[in-house]
Amino acid sequence: MNLLFALAGAPLAFLLASLIAGRHGARLIWIAAPVITALAFWLALETHARPQGGALGGWMPPLGIALEADGLGAVLLLTCALTASVTGLFALGRYGGARPESARRYTFWPLFYGLWAGMNAVLVSRDLFNLYVAIELLSICAVALAAFGSRQAAVNYMMIALAGSLAYLLGAVLIYAALGTLDMSLIAQRAPEARASVLIAAALITGGLMAKTALFPLHGWLPPAHGAAPTAVSALLSALVVKASFVILARVWFEGLPGLAGAGVITAFGVLGAAAIVYGSVLAITQTGLKALIAYSTVAQLGYLFLVFPLAGGGESATPWTAGAWGAMGFHLSAHMLAKAGLFLAAGLMIYGAGGGRIADLTGLARAMPVTSLAFGLCAVSLMGLPPSGGFMAKYLMLIAALASGQWHYALVILAGGLMAAAYLFKPLARLFAGTGTPAIRALPHRSMALAPLVLGAAAIALGLLSAEPYALMVSGLPEAGEAGLEEAEP
């Protein structure tokens, strides 16, 4: 439990340090990245044995707050640490260096560590109100960073974030009023006592979190905000921020209120997820701007996550891993985190190099920027769900869960989603290889900046090849509803 607090506290400490460090705030990333990643790795080792947890200050819930990290939490903490570290080092190109302090170069770092702290706090906590404060810290940093790009998009993002947080807060308040506790495991025990109020509260919480996760039809704010932001920021927003609210949603339904979800709710999630995949992919295919395309791809990829609700049980098939869909969710979360961040970083480099944001401007860049193009390719492979990437493992496990439980319509959506992803990702990839000459490009601030997306892309591929360990970690300590499915699990 001390390790969990340290994981949430460390980025907070760096937030404060960067506030006072002024011009040298940028150099802190060289200390923060290894320290926090090491802590996350240590947690992963510990969680391998048994889920970590404990009450802060010794005060047991319902009075105090309990921090807890099961397998999935540990994997996400580690992937989040890796993604944030690499993106932070990448951001040195724009917000670091020996230049005098400027508004953005100074304030980027506290907001970056605030975002990272918000992510870690969300991943370790199981208390509804604590999750509210953590996700507010995350949201305010995310909106502020999005304002680095387009302020209009940031205002729209802010409005949705405000609405979402209010709905969530109202839900949490009603749950406390009904059950007298905010801790998820206690909520699970006491939920049946006040079914009506808890159901209404759950609906409000779900509505709020769906707005923050930009699930179709509440996704309008995401593409402009993520598309217009600077490279490092759009990577952070797409890869990390939208996932935090989904993780809370999954925890609320799978750990807080397992027996409560009726068939209607579960199918609603499935249908919305499928609609998000189709809608996001079709929009992505029609985009001409590269960053807009990747932003719509995020809308589509988030749809896959919501398919885990109907597929959770996966049926008692002959497959030895009945917890398929829970593992698939873990793989999809971490693979998308790595691949999407890598994709945005590579895209940012290419747009900076080619001097134009449209896909048509990328002609022949594979020859001029081979390493960045390779990184873009690796990340695209994982997003398309083609082997040997982490994305493929997620797709494979989800398909197995879908077919084993007889819900083959979801399998069709997943396969169609994969094909559409190939359609909109090979469009820029083909541009890279097209043309004969080698286009002249603008030199990057540091030659090594192309390594950042390459590391992330390689990590996404490695997640697919060496998937045994991460899988074992992900399904250790999974909630009982994760294995038996939302409906069958009695609270």
**443 belongs to the binding site for another protein (CB under 8 A):** no
Segment near another protein (CB under 8 A); pick from 27-35, 43-51, 59-67, 284-292 = 59-67
Among 119, 249, 400, 456, binds another protein (CB under 8 A): 400
- Asked whether 366 and 433 are in contact (CB, 8 A), the reply is yes
Return the residue of 29, 69, 94, 270 that touches another protein, per CB under 8 A.
94
Task: Specify the long-range contacts of residues 103-111, CB closer than 8 Å, at least 24 apart.
Answer: 104/148, 105/25, 105/26, 106/22, 106/23, 106/25, 107/144, 108/145, 108/148, 109/18, 109/21, 109/25, 109/26, 109/28, 109/29, 110/15, 110/18, 110/19, 110/25, 111/141, 111/144, 111/145
User: CB 46 → another protein: shortest distance, Å?
Assistant: 14
Cα–Cα distance measured from residue 417 to residue 414, given in angstroms and rounded to the nearest whole number: 5
Strand partners, 192: none
When asked if residue 418 is in the footprint of another protein (CB under 8 A), the reply is yes
Q: How far is CA 233 from CA 51, 78, 104, 241, 284, in A?
A: 32, 20, 12, 10, 20
Among 376, 396, 410, 424, binds another protein (CB under 8 A): 396
Q: Which one of 35, 200, 278, 285 is in contact with another protein (CB under 8 A)?
A: 200
User: Which residue, 79, 455, 453, 421, is CA-closest to 232?
Assistant: 453
* 462 scored as a contact of another protein (CB under 8 A): no
Pairwise CA distance, residues 379 & 365, whole Å: 16
Minimum CB–partner distance for residue 207 and another protein (Å): 10
Q: How many other CB atoms are found less than 10 A from the CB of residue 73?
A: 31
Contact status: 103 vs another protein (CB under 8 A):
yes
Closer by beta carbon to another protein, 37 or else 234: 234
Determine which residue in the list 208, 258, 273, 327 makes contact with another protein, applying CB under 8 A: 327
> Does 30 sit near another protein (CB under 8 A)?
no
286 binds another protein (CB under 8 A): no
> Given candidates 38, 263, 360, 430, which one binds another protein under the rule CB under 8 A?
430
CA-based end-to-end distance of the chain: 26
Subset of 179-198 contacting another protein (CB under 8 A): 179-180, 193-194, 196-197
Q: In this structure, are residues 481 and 255 in contact, taking their beta carbons and an 8 Å threshold?
A: yes
Which two tokens mark 481?
A: 């509803």
Rounded to the nearest whole angstrom, what is the least distance from the CB of residue 402 to another protein in the complex? 8
The amino acid sitting at 118 is: G
Judged by CB under 8 A, the stretch of 148-156, 212-220, 300-308, 481-489 that binds another protein is 148-156
Contact call for residue 5 and another protein (CB under 8 A) = yes
Query: What residues numbered 465-484 form the site for another protein, per CB under 8 A?
Result: 467-468, 471-472
User: Which region, judged by CB under 8 A, interacts with another protein, from 174-182, 243-251, 267-275, 483-491?
Assistant: 174-182
Using CB under 8 A as the binding criterion, the count of chain residues that bind another protein stands at 132
Closest approach of Cβ 480 to another protein, in Å?
Answer: 19
CB 65, min distance to another protein, A: 5
- Supply the minimum distance, in Å, between the C-beta of residue 394 and another protein: 11
CB count, 10 Å around CB of 475? 20
Residue 31 in the binding site for another protein (CB under 8 A): no
Residue with tokens 């969710």: 329
Rounded Cα gap, residues 53 and 251, in angstroms: 15
Rounded to the nearest whole angstrom, what is the least distance from the CB of residue 307 to another protein in the complex?
A: 14
208 binds another protein (CB under 8 A): no
**ω into 258 cis (within 30 of 0):** no
Of the ranges 30-38, 71-79, 113-121, 282-290, which one interacts with another protein (CB under 8 A)?
A: 113-121
In one-letter notation, the amino acid at residue 358 is R
Helix, strand, coil share of the chain (percent; to 5): 80, 5, 20
Site membership for another protein, residue 268 (CB under 8 A)? no
C-beta closer to another protein: residue 378 or 484: 378
The answer to whether 203 contacts another protein (rule: CB under 8 A) is yes
